């Protein structure tokens, strides 16, 4: 018998001063049986960092043809494709061809460097790709905030990310490994 996803609920209050985005999102997160709390929380922080009115969770781990998060326009075209973890360069190339913008939120400490070094040159031609590393101490601290029902406040200012809940506070900065080039 196949294991089912665990459902988590999160009220995510976002104050992104860098982008001028302020909103509260009531989110339902399906945590795949193979997904860790750490990865789920990095997905939530990625949501906050890229938040928009249309940003939604994709099937991610469950379906290789869908990202972890995506923002689709009213026609269904993919505006922003977001992967969490250490995706294969073929996945990134496919995503770059299918969407206007692609972002990766890599985590895992030393594994991030081991993943990025060999694929950096391979993805150099992907102008719409941005890659951010989440520091290992931050992703582990975020994991400690995971609950079945969560109320989180995320404030982003001058690159600093502050995640607050009743269970604690986590402060960190994404390490930009690659910035997307502006599209013409």
Q: DSSP letters of 18-32? A: TTTEEEEEEEEEEE-
Share the mean pLDDT of the chain. 93
State the pLDDT at residue 63.
64
Q: Which CA distances in Å does 27 have to 11, 50, 81, 96?
A: 6, 15, 18, 26
What percent of the chain is predicted at pLDDT more than 70?
Answer: 95
By DSSP bridging, strand 78-84 and strand 99-106 are: parallel
Kindly state the tokens that stand for 144.
């400690």
127 close to 30: Cβ distance less than 8 angstroms: no
CATH of domain 6-178: 3.10.640.10
The pLDDT value given to residue 89: 95
Mean pLDDT for 96-118 is 96
* pLDDT recorded at residue 183: 52
- Residues 137-166: what's their mean pLDDT? 97
What pTM, to 2 d.p., does this model score?
0.94
């Amino acid at each position: 018998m196949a294991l089912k996803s665990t459902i988590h609920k999160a009220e995510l209050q976002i104050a992104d001063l860098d982008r001028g985005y302020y909103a509260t999102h009531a989110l339902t997160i399906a945590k795949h049986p193979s997904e860790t709390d750490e990865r789920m929380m990095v997905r939530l922080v990625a949501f906050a960092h890229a938040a928009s009115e249309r940003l939604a969770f994709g099937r991610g781990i469950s379906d290789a043809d869908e990202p972890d998060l995506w923002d689709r326009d009213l026609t269904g075209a993919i505006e922003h494709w977001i992967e969490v973890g250490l995706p294969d360069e073929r996945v990134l190339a496919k995503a770059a061809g299918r969407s206007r913008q692609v972002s990766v939120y890599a985590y895992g400490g030393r594994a991030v460097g081991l993943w990025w070094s060999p694929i950096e040159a391979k993805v150099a031609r992907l102008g719409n790709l941005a890659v951010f590393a989440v520091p290992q101490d931050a992703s582990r601290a975020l994991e400690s905030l995971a609950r079945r029902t969560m109320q989180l406040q995320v404030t982003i200012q001058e690159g600093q990310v502050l995640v607050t809940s009743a269970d604690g506070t986590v402060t960190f900065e994404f390490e930009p490994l690659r910035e997307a080039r502006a599209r013409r």
